[in-house]
């Protein structure tokens, strides 16, 4: 098992590369700028929701209601804009606030009244679905009036020009370099052993390559999609929260052993409610982007997205019992799911087979995780 | 008294145990138990916590199968080799322990016949099942309907239903482990009456209880265990309470204790003062901790002793804000009142910390590393607006690893893989990093090796030398005597006696724990 445990971090990137290579060979258009841009938009929508789900699962809870919630919040904002003539920022703002409030309430019911999260959010799934269909009246509600653009419709139709995209990427790389240099200096000041300088440079170059690839790929289409920037912001925030704050430590502690967390002085209800509130915020953001992506709110928006979000976390090595998982894992898990779906759509695989393939990959990933050693957080 | 007279005629024993020895990794639980039970006899087993009673019972009823122990066991004159509980049951041995083995959602009748339901063809014969159950209940004088769901019964009735179930299996030997711990006086009377009736009918019984009056009133013979061996076997007629306590104490020291400095002067203001504390497990329940008053001075180690279920752990958890509902009384830390509604966070902030008796369940996040666990309660010290100061946290963790001599390759080692002693040190490091003034230790040396024990005793000395107050709960009388300046013994949720070092003697401490302060 030694060899398999040292190879473990490479298993998911290798699986991803294999899937990508297969699609690229089967259909050359897969690597085209247009398709990759589309893949990036679809990926950032799933991954944003999965990052919200990640915090909930870390505490050992689950949220089945997010798919319906995505439809509901997106639909609500669309109705406000199209039927009631609200300005897009006001409609989005109200949707966001309502989502955060609703998810905080569900979190409070789960942790204070001790109703299992599976039940509360299963109820949420049904209630939100019903409310959603009621407010959009089972019809199609565009996200803007006439042909005019607004903030809502621009969420997935706005592309950052390549120059600006390259600028943002360069700023991100510089920021990352500065942060890692400062962390290094602080460790040195504390007299702690340092990582080899060459290795740190290699890691930074790899990150720079990954970040720089985005504007480069998008250059031949329309530019960098806005939703990719949203995902970048959310991923940085979740990374910071889980790795560098008390809140993040408490999430891992509660998921690892809730009774011990209580006796260690952690306010479990506050932390769990906060995790659900964050989930609500991600439901709102995803609701807006996914509705904008389809151009209008229709009754099928958000269908089964909760399962994609949970699958991304699990494939990425997050334990459903809580207390174990990482942001990078979730991002990779979501990328595997998004690539699979995009490639199969491109190859015109029939929808019934697409479902079966996604289910098989989920089962396979978890089996491999159980079989080839435990993923340590 | 006719049964006692019959007992003295010495019929041949139904169950005989010879030189039973049982080893666990690192511990010898039984080292030479000799024991027999005659038909129609109530044989009581007495001994301190950890004397080996539970191990002996598990061996008799097949939980520890034949081959996992040494010595011989004979039932009805034949050598017995139980491979599991079913073999023991088939031989006629039924054990009723403190954890109920009833299915809450099934009815009383269904529970009594669970796994051996009367059938007609392939269907369960419900009329016969209910009629037979009703008959057994009537025989026991139990005024409950066989169709009552078990979850609606009180603890006492559940206990009696378990006994009915055991007898329904035509058991020849009943083993009762602390059957009266949760019963009301009236329920105890019903139980006693039934046990005497069973004795007349020839059923044998092994009866374990800490209530010595009960033992003297009921038993025909009494065997005392200590350190895994039989140390006395008496006819009930010859026994007295002091005569029972004497052989129970005198356990061997398992570690050397560092010398204690003289205790602080009696006029020193207490750091922790508890007055007239009454606590119930939940709202509406009767008080479990009753009128507890004690105090601890800075630099002092107060021991809290008592038998299993006396309320030691509950007391510590309540002081820490983690258990029960306070009905009356106050807790003061350095003169400031600790509010009854506060939780663990408030206790930690006030300078009071707890090390739980079950470190794996209540003390550690086993999946995380040593560093994560050490700083978990003190993260506020490292918080900045731009995130935790991880280098400073790393250094603080390192300091505690060095000070407590935690043996792990680095902070990044998973806590779940460490030895018991090192895990305990990680819990100690976590609570000490918060800078506490009052430290509650619940069984701090349970399940750890002698070397680590000694280190923990030394640490207690260092903490008190630094002006902290320490409360130690321990089941081991030698540990309390070796480590503490004063000892409070609890008995059924109340103070059974308080002792200063000059008055420490195992006999007196145990008598107080048994509620027999006058006997010693």
pLDDT for B348 equals 96
Mean pLDDT value of segment A113-139: 95
pLDDT for B252 equals 56
Q: Which residues of chain A does B318 touch, with a Cβ-Cβ cutoff of 8 Å? A: none
- Tell which residue, B320, B345, B343, has the closest CA to residue B331: B320
- Tell which residue, A178, A71, A165, A55, has the closest CA to residue A124: A71
The whole-angstrom separation of Cα B282 and Cα A189 is 52
Residues of B near A (CB-CB distance < 8 A)?
A: 320, 322, 343-345, 347-349, 354, 356, 361-368, 372, 376-377, 379-380, 383, 386-392, 394-395, 414, 430, 434
Residue B499 pairs in a beta bridge with B487
Q: Is the pLDDT of residue A1 over 60?
A: no
The two beta strands, B229-235 and B15-24, are: unpaired
Confidence of residue B6 (pLDDT cuts 50, 70, 90): very low
Confidence of residue B3 (pLDDT cuts 50, 70, 90): very low
The whole-angstrom separation of Cα B249 and Cα B305 is 14
CB contact under 8 A, A260 and B344: no
pLDDT for A8 equals 66
| Chain B interface mutation, best of A186, A258, A264, highest count of B Cβ atoms under 10 Å | A264
- Tell which residue, A135, A140, A102, has the closest CA to residue A121: A102
- For residue B279, give Cα distances in angstroms to B282, B283, B512: 9, 10, 21
Name the one residue in this structure whose structure tokens are 């995009």. A342
* A307-324 pLDDT, tens digit each: 999 999 999 989 888 999
* A196-251 pLDDT, tens digit each: 888 889 989 999 998 998 888 888 888 899 999 999 999 999 999 999 999 999 99
Retrieve residue B246's tokens. 């004497």
A267 touches chain B (CB under 8 A): yes
| Domain boundaries, given as residue ranges, for chain B | 2-92+172-248, 107-167, 272-513
A316 touches chain B (CB under 8 A): no
For residues A160 and A69, the model is more confident at A69
* A242-281 pLDDT, tens digit each: 999 999 999 999 999 999 999 999 999 999 999 999 999 9
The whole-angstrom separation of Cα A32 and Cα B489 is 79
The whole-angstrom separation of Cα B432 and Cα A111 is 29
CB contact under 8 A, A259 and B361: yes
What percentage of chain B has pLDDT greater than the value 70? 95
B7-18: burial string, b at 16+ Cβ within 10 Å, e else? beeeeebbbbbe
A197 touches chain B (CB under 8 A): no
CB contact under 8 A, A190 and B394: yes
- Tell which residue, A341, A362, A357, has the closest CA to residue A42: A341
CB contact under 8 A, A260 and B364: yes
How far apart are the two ends of chain B, measured CA to CA in Å? 29
List the B70-75 sheet strands across, edge first: B27-37, B15-24, B70-75, B78-79
pLDDT for B445 equals 87
The whole-angstrom separation of Cα A295 and Cα B478 is 77
Report the length, in residues, of chain A.
377
A193 touches chain B (CB under 8 A): no
* A153-174 pLDDT, tens digit each: 888 888 888 889 999 999 999 9
Nearest by CB to A263, which of B354, B367, B390?
Answer: B354
The whole-angstrom separation of Cα A237 and Cα A243 is 10
Which residue of A lies nearest to B415 if distances are taken between CA atoms?
A: A256
* B154-193 pLDDT, tens digit each: 777 888 888 888 877 778 899 998 887 767 777 788 888 8
Q: Which residues of chain A does B394 touch, with a Cβ-Cβ cutoff of 8 Å? A: 190, 192
pLDDT for A7 equals 61
| DSSP helix/strand/coil, B15 | strand
- Tell which residue, B55, B8, B5, has the closest CA to residue B30: B55
Per DSSP, helices labelled H in A245-297 are 246-256, 258-263, 268-293
CB contact under 8 A, A190 and B392: yes
CB contact under 8 A, B430 and A244: no
Mean pLDDT value of segment A39-46: 94
- Using only C-alpha atoms, what is the Rg of chain B? 26
CB contact under 8 A, A323 and B367: yes
Q: Are A303 and A72 in contact (CB under 8 A)?
A: no
Q: Is CATH 3.40.640.10 correct for B2-92+172-248?
A: no
Confidence of residue B7 (pLDDT cuts 50, 70, 90): very low
Mean pLDDT value of segment B427-447: 94
CB contact under 8 A, A265 and B392: no
CA B56, B57, B59, B60 torsion-angle sign = positive
**A31 phi/psi in degrees, rounded to 5:** -90, 0
Nearest by CB to B364, which of A257, A265, A266?
Answer: A257
How far apart are the two ends of chain A, measured CA to CA in Å? 19
The whole-angstrom separation of Cα B1 and Cα B217 is 11
Q: Which residues of chain A does B430 touch, with a Cβ-Cβ cutoff of 8 Å? A: 264
* B218-248 pLDDT, tens digit each: 999 999 998 888 988 888 888 888 888 888 8
* B390-412 pLDDT, tens digit each: 999 999 999 999 999 998 889 99
Nearest by CB to A246, which of B347, B363, B388?
Answer: B388
CB contact under 8 A, A257 and B361: yes
The two beta strands, B78-79 and B301-306, are: unpaired
CB contact under 8 A, B414 and A376: yes
Q: Helix A2-26 to helix A327-346 angle, to the nearest 10 degrees?
A: 30
Which residue of B lies nearest to A323 if distances are taken between CA atoms?
A: B367
CB contact under 8 A, A266 and B376: yes
Mean pLDDT value of segment B483-489: 95
The whole-angstrom separation of Cα B355 and Cα B439 is 8
Q: Are B42 and B195 in contact (CB under 8 A)?
A: yes
Q: Are A47 and A312 in contact (CB under 8 A)?
A: yes
Confidence of residue A370 (pLDDT cuts 50, 70, 90): confident
Q: Is the pLDDT of residue A373 over 70?
A: no
pTM of the model: 0.82
Mean pLDDT value of segment B286-313: 91
Q: Is the pLDDT of residue B292 over 70?
A: yes
For residues A234 and A375, the model is more confident at A234
- Tell which residue, B97, B214, B76, has the closest CA to residue B163: B97
| DSSP helix/strand/coil, A40 | helix
CB contact under 8 A, B391 and A192: yes
Q: Which residues of chain A does B390 touch, with a Cβ-Cβ cutoff of 8 Å? A: 183, 244
Q: How far is A150 from chain B (nearest CA, A)?
A: 35
Confidence of residue B9 (pLDDT cuts 50, 70, 90): low
Q: Which residues of chain A does B428 touch, with a Cβ-Cβ cutoff of 8 Å? A: none
Confidence of residue A48 (pLDDT cuts 50, 70, 90): very high
Q: Helix, strand, coil shares of chain A as percentages rounded to 5?
A: 75, 0, 20
Confidence of residue B100 (pLDDT cuts 50, 70, 90): low
CB contact under 8 A, A262 and B390: no
Q: Quick one: DSSP state of residue A41?
A: H
The whole-angstrom separation of Cα A122 and Cα A117 is 8
Q: Are A140 and A298 in contact (CB under 8 A)?
A: yes
The whole-angstrom separation of Cα A245 and Cα B93 is 58
The whole-angstrom separation of Cα B161 and Cα B134 is 12
pLDDT for A334 equals 95
Q: Is the pLDDT of residue B307 over 80?
A: yes
Model ipTM value? 0.89
Q: How far is B326 from chain A (nearest CA, A)?
A: 18
Report the length, in residues, of chain B.
520
Nearest by CB to B377, which of A186, A187, A264?
Answer: A264
What angle is formed at CA B21 by the lines to CA B18 and CA B26, rounded to 5 degrees? Answer: 175
CB contact under 8 A, B372 and A259: no
The whole-angstrom separation of Cα A7 and Cα B294 is 59
Q: Which residues of chain B does A266 touch, with a Cβ-Cβ cutoff of 8 Å? A: 345, 376
Confidence of residue B255 (pLDDT cuts 50, 70, 90): low
Retrieve residue A94's tokens. 């109200």
Retrieve residue A140's tokens. 């199609």
Give the torsion through C-alpha atoms of B447, B451, B453, B454, to 10 deg: 170
* A335-358 pLDDT, tens digit each: 999 999 999 999 999 999 999 998
**10 Å Cβ neighbour count for B418?**
19
A67 touches chain B (CB under 8 A): no
B287-320: burial string, b at 16+ Cβ within 10 Å, e else? bbbbebebbbbbbbbbbbbbbebbbbbbbbbbbb
The whole-angstrom separation of Cα B473 and Cα B463 is 16
CATH topology (fold) of B272-513: Rossmann fold (3.40.50)
Q: Are B489 and B497 in contact (CB under 8 A)?
A: yes
The DSSP-derived string for A79-145 is HHHHTT---HHHHHHHHHHHHHHHHHHHHHHHHHS---HHHHHHHHHHHHHHHHHHHTTTS-EESSS
CB contact under 8 A, B345 and A249: no
Mean pLDDT value of segment B377-394: 93
Q: Is the pLDDT of residue B520 over 60?
A: no
pLDDT for A73 equals 97
Retrieve residue B506's tokens. 């195992």
CB contact under 8 A, A240 and B320: no
State chain B's mean pLDDT as an integer: 87
Whether B2-92+172-248 and B272-513 share one fold: the answer is yes
A1 touches chain B (CB under 8 A): no
- Tell which residue, A13, A70, A20, has the closest CA to residue A342: A20
The two beta strands, B325-333 and B272-280, are: antiparallel
Nearest by CB to A263, which of B356, B366, B383?
Answer: B356
CB contact under 8 A, B395 and A259: no
Instruction: For residue A56, give every residue at least 6 positions away whose Cβ sits within 8 Å of its Cβ, in sequence order, or none.
Output: A62, A63, A117, A275, A276, A279
**10 Å Cβ neighbour count for A281?**
18
**10 Å Cβ neighbour count for A297?**
31
């Amino acid at each position: 098992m030694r060899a398999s445990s040292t190879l473990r971090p490479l298993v998911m990137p290798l699986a991803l590369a294999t899937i990508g290579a297969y699609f690229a060979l089967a259909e050359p258009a897969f690597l085209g700028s247009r398709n990759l841009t589309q893949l990036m938009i679809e990926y950032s929508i799933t991954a944003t929701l999965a990052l919200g789900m990640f915090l909930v699962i870390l505490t050992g809870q689950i949220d089945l209601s997010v798919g319906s919630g995505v439809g509901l919040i997106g639909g609500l904002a669309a109705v406000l804009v199209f039927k009631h003539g609200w300005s897009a920022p006001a409609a989005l703002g109200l949707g966001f606030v309502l989502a955060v409030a609703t998810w905080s309430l569900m979190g409070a019911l789960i942790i204070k009244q001790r109703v299992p999260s599976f039940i509360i959010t299963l109820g949420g799934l049904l209630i939100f679905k019903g409310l959603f269909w009621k407010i959009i009246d089972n019809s199609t509600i565009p996200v803007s009036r006439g042909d005019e653009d607004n903030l809502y419709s621009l969420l997935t139709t706005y592309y950052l020009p390549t120059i600006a995209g390259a600028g943002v990427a360069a700023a991100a790389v510089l920021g990352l370099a500065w942060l890692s240099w400062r962390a290094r200096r602080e460790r040195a000041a504390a007299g702690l052993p340092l990582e080899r300088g060459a290795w740190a440079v290699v890691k930074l170059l790899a990150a720079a390559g990954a970040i720089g690839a985005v504007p480069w790929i998008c250059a031949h289409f329309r530019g960098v999609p806005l939703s990719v920037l949203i995902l970048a912001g959310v991923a940085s925030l979740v990374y910071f929260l889980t790795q560098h704050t008390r809140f993040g430590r408490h999430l891992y502690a509660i998921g690892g052993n809730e009774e011990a967390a209580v006796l260690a002085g952690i306010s479990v209800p506050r932390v769990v409610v906060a995790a659900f509130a964050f989930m609500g915020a991600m439901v709102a953001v995803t609701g807006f982007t996914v509705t904008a992506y389809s151009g209008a709110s229709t009754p099928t928006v958000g269908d089964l997205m909760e399962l994609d979000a949970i699958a991304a976390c699990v494939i990425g090595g997050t334990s459903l019992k809580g207390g174990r998982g990482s942001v990078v894992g979730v991002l990779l898990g979501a990328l595997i799911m998004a690539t699979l779906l995009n490639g199969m759509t491109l190859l015109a695989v029939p929808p019934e087979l697409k479902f079966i393939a996604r289910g098989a990959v989920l089962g396979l990933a978890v089996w491999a995780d159980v079989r080839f050693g435990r993923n340590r957080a | 008294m006719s049964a006692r007279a019959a007992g003295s005629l010495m019929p041949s024993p139904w169950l005989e145990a010879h030189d039973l020895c049982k080893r666990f990794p690192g511990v010898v639980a039984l080292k030479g138990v000799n024991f027999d039970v005659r038909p129609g006899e109530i044989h009581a087993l007495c001994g301190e916590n950890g004397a080996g009673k539970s191990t002996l019972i598990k061996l008799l009823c097949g939980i520890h199968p034949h081959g996992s122990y040494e010595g011989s066991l004979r039932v009805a004159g034949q050598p017995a080799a139980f491979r599991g509980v079913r073999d023991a049951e088939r031989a006629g041995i039924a054990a009723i322990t403190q954890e109920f083995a009833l299915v809450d959602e099934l009815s009383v009748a269904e529970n009594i016949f669970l796994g051996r339901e009367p059938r007609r063809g392939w269907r369960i014969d419900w009329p016969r099942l209910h009629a037979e159950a009703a008959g057994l209940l009537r025989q026991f004088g139990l005024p409950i309907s066989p169709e009552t769901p078990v979850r609606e019964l009180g603890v006492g009735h559940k206990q009696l239903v378990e006994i009915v179930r055991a007898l329904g299996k035509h058991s020849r030997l009943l083993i009762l482990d602390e059957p009266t711990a949760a019963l009301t006086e009236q329920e105890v009377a019903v139980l006693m009456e039934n046990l005497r009736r069973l004795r007349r009918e020839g059923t044998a019984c092994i009866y374990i209880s800490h209530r010595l009056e009960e033992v003297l009133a009921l038993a025909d013979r009494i065997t005392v265990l200590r350190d895994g061996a039989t140390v006395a076997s008496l006819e009930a007629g010859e026994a007295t309470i002091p005569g029972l306590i004497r052989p129970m104490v005198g356990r061997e020291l398992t570690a050397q204790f560092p010398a204690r400095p003289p205790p602080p002067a009696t006029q020193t203001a207490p750091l922790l003062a508890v007055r007239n504390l009454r606590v119930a497990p939940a709202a509406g329940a009767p008080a479990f901790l009753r009128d507890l008053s004690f105090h601890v001075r800075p630099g002092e180690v107060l021991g809290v002793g008592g038998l299993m279920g006396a309320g030691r752990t509950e007391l510590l958890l309540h002081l820490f804000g983690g258990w029960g509902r306070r009905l009356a009384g106050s807790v003061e830390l350095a003169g400031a009142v600790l509010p009854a509604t506060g939780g663990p966070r408030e206790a930690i902030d006030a300078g009071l910390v707890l090390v739980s008796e079950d470190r794996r369940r209540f003390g550690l996040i086993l999946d995380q590393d040593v560093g994560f666990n050490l700083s978990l309660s003190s993260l506020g010290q490292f918080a900045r607006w731009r995130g935790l100061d991880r280098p400073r946290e790393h250094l603080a963790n390192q300091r505690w690893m060095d000070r407590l001599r935690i043996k792990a390759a680095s902070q990044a080692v998973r806590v779940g893989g460490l030895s018991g002693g090192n895990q305990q040190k990680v819990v100690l490091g976590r609570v000490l990093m918060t800078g506490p003034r009052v430290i509650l230790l619940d069984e701090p040396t349970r399940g750890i090796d002698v070397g680590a024990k000694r280190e923990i005793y030394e640490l207690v000395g260092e903490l008190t030398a630094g002006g902290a107050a320490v409360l130690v709960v321990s089941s081991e009388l030698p540990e309390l005597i070796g480590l503490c300046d004063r000892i409070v013994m609890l008995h059924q949720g109340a103070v059974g006696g308080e002792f200063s070092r000059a008055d420490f003697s195992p006999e007196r401490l145990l008598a107080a724990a048994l509620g027999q302060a006058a006997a010693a």
